[in-house]
């Protein structure tokens, strides 16, 4: 990378699509364009490509081909899992509005306990347990369940390194309340600070209480190994544009044993869980991009971690007041996040942008809204400090020259902004 080129440090927001991914998917947009549901020869060719993509994708996530439901990305996958599993389990467990067989919303305490005149039947309210640092695709879906079906939404706190409090999870699943819990939904790696969560322990706690676990692996896929079946995870969401496939592509991996209702109705594609003509070229792109990303990671993991740690040291050197956020070790390999007391992250990122360094102030979805990064607040960081967050994410190891350029830019930006 030459000095004049912008340095892209926002891979957690999205990654470029590489030429080999485009080349692999193109034939399924041009020559082999048939609908994979068609019985004719061209249709069968498309169906074979879809099957092959599914098998490769599943194997790279430690899953079986039948687990894979292709979707439009992380947001849809999280919505399908959280709403679909919670609603299916609510019904099976005889909770909420389904206790009387009625498909109606139950909300508020009156609904839970029967109204004053005793006309409403007493219902046991369904529950969902999430962490306090979930992406809005998960937390918003849980809030939707609360609004429409009267779910209790329990948010498990995190510590100052953004690790989920496992004792609090255990307590949340104990006793009568645990028996009303339809789902535990938690992320594998955090988008704002990169901390990696102990998913296997979360699964073992939840399963001991017979509660399935949905994992949002959007930030982790292609960066750290994912073994869905070995970890005994029930469903897992990934998003293609985080590992080099085009935007608007992703998957929910969901085990056959897990009760789940579709949230999209139609022709019954993808095990009836995601109706709509399948995007064959997109599925091919997902499979190739994930394989490419995993291979790259296997080859460059140590270098990536080393360059991440060099950048962390360099930032600390040029701005001693800056503080690393998240776990210094159990974090994603190309993820650096800091708070810079005395400035706002927004001002810093605008200034850095003008110096050819493209980074972010927190989660991708917060950009444009300039909200205070919610993970930092959940970690107990003061709002004033949390506002000064800056995130730098990359998938290729940085060179020493890159690191010098970034740290010099940060030093100059910070000095300029704190002088004002
Ligand atoms: N979950 C997490 C943790 C994310 O970081 C994101 C996007 O940044 C999503 C879900 C949403 O994924 P998508 O952009 O594919 O809808």
Within-domain flag for 115: no
Within-domain flag for 1: no
Atom of ligand 1 nearest to the CA of 76: 16
Q: CB neighbours of 105 closer than 8 A, spacing ≥ 6?
A: 97, 147, 148, 149, 150
Q: Which of 232, 256, 291 is the last residue of a domain?
A: 291
Q: Are residues 198 and 247 in the same domain?
A: yes
**Active-site residue among 365, 367, 377, 385?**
365
Residue 365 is among the residues annotated as catalytic for this protein: yes
pLDDT tens, the chain, 420 aa long? 445 689 999 999 999 999 999 999 999 999 999 999 999 999 999 999 999 999 999 999 999 999 999 999 999 999 999 999 999 999 999 998 654 443 333 333 334 444 444 455 567 999 999 999 999 999 999 999 999 999 999 999 999 999 999 999 999 999 999 999 999 999 999 999 999 999 999 999 999 999 999 999 999 999 999 999 999 999 999 999 999 999 999 999 999 999 999 999 999 999 999 999 999 999 999 999 999 999 999 999 999 999 999 999 999 999 999 999 999 999 999 999 999 999 999 999 999 999 999 999 875 555 455 678 999 999 999 999 999 999 999 999 999 999 999 999 999 999 999 987
Within-domain flag for 389: yes
Measured from CB, residues less than 6 Å from any atom of ligand 1 are 73-75, 78, 135, 137, 187, 191, 216, 218-219, 239, 250, 364-365
Q: Which of 291, 321, 350 is the last residue of a domain?
A: 291
Dist. CA 135 → ligand 1 center (Å): 7
Q: Are residues 235 and 357 in the same domain?
A: no
**Ligand 1, atom 12: nearest CA belongs to which residue?**
74
Query: Which residues in 200-306 belong to E strands, given as ranges?
Result: 213-216, 235-239, 250-254
Atom of ligand 1 nearest to the CA of 75: 16
CA angle 105, 108, 113 (to 5 degrees): 100
Tens digit of each residue's pLDDT (9 = 90 or more) over 373-397: 999 999 999 999 999 999 999 999 9
SS3 362: coil
Determine the Cα–Cα distance for residues 293 and 223; give it in Å rounded to an integer.
7
Q: How many domains does the chain have?
A: 2
CATH number, domain with residue 414: 3.90.1150.10
* Intra-chain end-to-end CA distance of the chain, in Å: 32
Question: Domain limits at 39?
Answer: 19-95+123-291
Q: Which of 291, 313, 344 is the last residue of a domain?
A: 291
For ligand 1, pick from 71, 242, 326 the residue to mutate: most ligand atoms within 8 Å of CB: 242
Q: Are residues 268 and 370 in the same domain?
A: no
Tens digit of each residue's pLDDT (9 = 90 or more) over 284-331: 999 999 999 999 999 999 999 999 999 999 999 999 999 999 999 999
Within-domain flag for 226: yes
């Amino acid at each position: 990378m030459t000095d004049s080129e912008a340095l892209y440090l926002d891979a957690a927001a999205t990654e470029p699509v590489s030429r080999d991914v485009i080349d692999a998917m193109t034939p399924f947009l041009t020559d082999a364009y048939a609908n994979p549901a068609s019985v004719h020869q061209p249709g069968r060719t498309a169906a074979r490509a879809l099957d092959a993509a599914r098998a490769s994708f599943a194997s790279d996530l430690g899953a079986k081909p039948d687990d894979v439901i292709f979707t439009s990305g992380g947001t849809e996958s999280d919505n399908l899992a959280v709403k679909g599993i919670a609603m299916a389990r609510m019904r099976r467990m005889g909770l909420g509005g389904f206790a009387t067989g009625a498909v109606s919303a139950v909300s508020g305490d009156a609904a839970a306990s029967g109204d004053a005149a005793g006309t409403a039947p007493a219902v046991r309210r369904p529950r969902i347990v999430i962490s306090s640092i979930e992406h809005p695709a998960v937390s918003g879906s849980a809030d939707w369940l609360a609004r429409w079906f009267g779910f209790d939404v329990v948010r498990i706190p995190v510590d100052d390194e953004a690790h989920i409090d496992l004792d609090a999870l255990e307590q949340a699943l104990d006793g009568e309340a645990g028996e009303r819990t339809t789902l535990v939904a938690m992320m594998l790696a955090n988008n704002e600070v990169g901390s990696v969560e102990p998913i296997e322990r979360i699964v073992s706690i939840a399963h001991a209480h017979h509660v399935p676990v949905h994992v949002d692996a959007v930030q982790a896929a292609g960066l750290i190994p994912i073994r869905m079946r070995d970890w005994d995870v029930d469903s897992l969401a990934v998003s293609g544009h985080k590992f080099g496939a085009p935007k608007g592509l992703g998957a929910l991996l969901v085990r056959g044993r897990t009760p789940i209702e579709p949230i999209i109705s139609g022709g019954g594609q993808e095990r009836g869980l995601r109706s709509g003509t399948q995007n064959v070229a997109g599925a091919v792109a997902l499979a190739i991009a994930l394989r490419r990303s995993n291979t790259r990671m296997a080859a460059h993991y140590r270098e990536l971690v080393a360059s991440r740690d060099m950048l962390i040291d360099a930032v600390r050197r040029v701005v001693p007041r800056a503080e690393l956020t998240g776990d210094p070790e159990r974090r994603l390999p190309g993820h650096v996040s800091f708070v810079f007391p005395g400035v706002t992250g927004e001002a810093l990122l605008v200034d850095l942008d003008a110096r050819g360094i493209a980074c972010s102030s927190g989660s991708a979805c917060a950009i444009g809204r300039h909200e205070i990064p919610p993970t930092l607040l959940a970690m107990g960081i003061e709002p004033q400090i949390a506002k000064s967050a800056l995130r730098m994410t990359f998938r290729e190891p940085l060179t020493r020259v890159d690191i010098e350029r970034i740290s010099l830019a940060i030093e100059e930006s910070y000095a300029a902004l704190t002088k004002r």
